[in-house]
């Protein structure tokens, strides 16, 4: 343990599984007090138990990032419990229904936008309000995707949200650069998570998706968590408004979709 985040207070949304869970555990191991947030209480408590088993300090807040009152309450609870907010990983997101635009129900579009894009905007709004009030800077990482860089037939709304997250990230970084607050995005390709299993668990889909990763495998949640840790640490102190791509070569070659 190098105590990269010693005495820092970190919010992690979507902390009930996958990348969010591994990042929360890693933050705790590096000395941060972690506020886990998510919609599923059972999985949230499981994540919290893992944090404490690793010797970390944290709480779980059951909430929905698409609801203004929930996001505001999350930041308030963080401040009530630990006194401040230094770091945030706005990770919560859904894949939505992957279906051609001509066939997509409007309610599915609205739900995907509400969680993946408005949810990040709401988190940024209330996290930045608190960080600006503190006046001591901060670091925020937003979850985008390789889908934030390319189109994806059948996943237009998902891709639109992830493009939007990159735009929010750049804009927020410009708004806060002189305040010591850094805002960046992380853009993974397929990672071995419950979402990845839902999308690519079918053998044919799995084979197709693997073929898009020249490295020959999918990523692991901890590989993303390690990158997020670095982005939130002082080692990344000159990085803001950027998107870090972790994709096993997905976007490098001629076979990238889009």
Provide the annotated active-site residues. Answer: 158
- Give the span between the Cα atoms of 42 and 49, in whole angstroms: 11
Lookup: tokens for 161: 């949200």
- What φ, ψ does residue 254 adopt, rounded to 5°? -75, -15
Host H or E run for residue 246: strand 243-246
Cβ atoms of residues 165 and 241 within 8 Å: no
- What φ, ψ does residue 180 adopt, rounded to 5°? 80, 15
- Following CA atoms 39, 146, 142, 215 in sequence, which dihedral angle do they give, to the nearest 10 degrees? 90
The 8-class DSSP code of residue 184 comes to: E
- Give the span between the Cα atoms of 52 and 58, in whole angstroms: 7
Lookup: tokens for 166: 């990159």
- What φ, ψ does residue 151 adopt, rounded to 5°? -80, 160
The 8-class DSSP code of residue 218 comes to: -
Q: How far out from the chain centre does Cα 106 lie?
A: 25
- Give the span between the Cα atoms of 164 and 142, in whole angstroms: 11
């Amino acid at each position: 343990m190098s105590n990269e985040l010693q005495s820092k207070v970190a919010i992690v949304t979507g902390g009930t599984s996958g990348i969010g869970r591994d990042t929360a555990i890693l933050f705790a191991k590096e000395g941060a007090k972690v506020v886990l947030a998510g919609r599923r209480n059972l999985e949230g408590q499981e994540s919290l138990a893992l944090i404490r088993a690793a010797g970390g300090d944290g709480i779980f807040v059951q909430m929905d990032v698409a609801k203004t009152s929930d996001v505001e309450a999350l930041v308030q609870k963080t401040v009530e419990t630990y006194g401040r907010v230094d770091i945030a990983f706005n990770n919560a997101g859904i894949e939505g229904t992957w279906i051609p635009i001509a066939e997509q129900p409007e309610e599915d579009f609205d739900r995907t936008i509400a969680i993946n894009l408005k949810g990040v905007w709401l988190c940024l709004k209330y996290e930045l309000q608190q960080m600006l009030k503190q006046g001591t800077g901060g670091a925020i990482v937003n979850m985008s995707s390789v889908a934030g860089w390319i189109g994806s037939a059948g996943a237009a709304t998902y891709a639109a949200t992830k493009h939007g997250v990159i735009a929010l990230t750049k804009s927020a970084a410009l708004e806060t650069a002189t305040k010591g607050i850094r805002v960046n995005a992380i853009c993974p390709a397929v990672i071995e998570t419950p979402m990845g299993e839902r999308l690519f668990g079918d053998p044919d889909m799995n084979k197709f998706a693997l073929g898009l990763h020249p490295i020959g495998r999918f990523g692991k949640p901890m590989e993303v968590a390690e990158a997020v840790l670095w982005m939130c640490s002082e080692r990344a102190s000159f990085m803001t408004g950027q998107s870090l791509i972790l994709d096993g070569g997905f976007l490098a070659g001629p076979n990238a979709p889009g």
